[in-house]
Amino acid sequence: MTNIDEYWNKFIKDTGRSEEDRCAGDLNFEAKGFVGDELITLVLTDRKTAFFTSWATYAIDQEPLPVSGELYVVLDRADNPRCVIETQSVEIVPFNEVTWEMARLEGEDEDLGQWKERKQEYLEDEGAVLGFEFTPDIKLVFQTFKVVYKA
């Protein structure tokens, strides 16, 4: 049994959830410019309640889009489970239609301009690896979540 499985089982036991509830996967909030577990701290303190991923990533990997209600174990940089989050909403939005109200939920930037600059650089890097090009109207998957368990 992995440490993720052990953490999940503890989550089920501690919260009284059904043993039929399934973990949709694990997430690691790594980002360029962050060297430690700063993003985990933002999640654990409810300052980060959303994230964006490129729609192309799902299409290329032939993965289904997430759906509200899914549960994920969040890992730190050392791959230790730190919390369980529940997806609240999932929306497809073009990059050039992201509002500050949406972007600020990531908890990482001071304004929309800073978010756009950082996210564009990330998407250009990701596209170079996965084989897609950044365009101003590139589709993003915008997910909001809440922490439902910390131990």
pLDDT tens for 19-32 read: 899 999 999 887 65
Give CA–CA dist 43/20, Å, rounded. Answer: 26
Task: Quickly count: other Cβ atoms within 10 Å of residue 96's Cβ.
Answer: 10
Going along the chain from its start, the domains and CATH numbers come out as 3-150 (3.10.400.10)
pLDDT in tens, 86-118: 999 999 999 999 999 999 999 999 999 999 999
Q: Are 26 and 72 in contact (CB under 8 A)?
A: yes
Q: What is the DSSP annotation of 87-106?
A: EEEEEEEEGGG--HHHHGGG
Q: What average pLDDT does the segment 140-145 reach?
A: 98
pLDDT in tens, 6-65: 999 999 999 999 989 999 999 988 765 555 688 889 999 999 999 999 999 999 999 999
Q: What average pLDDT does the segment 70-74 reach?
A: 97
Q: Which amino acid is at 6?
A: E
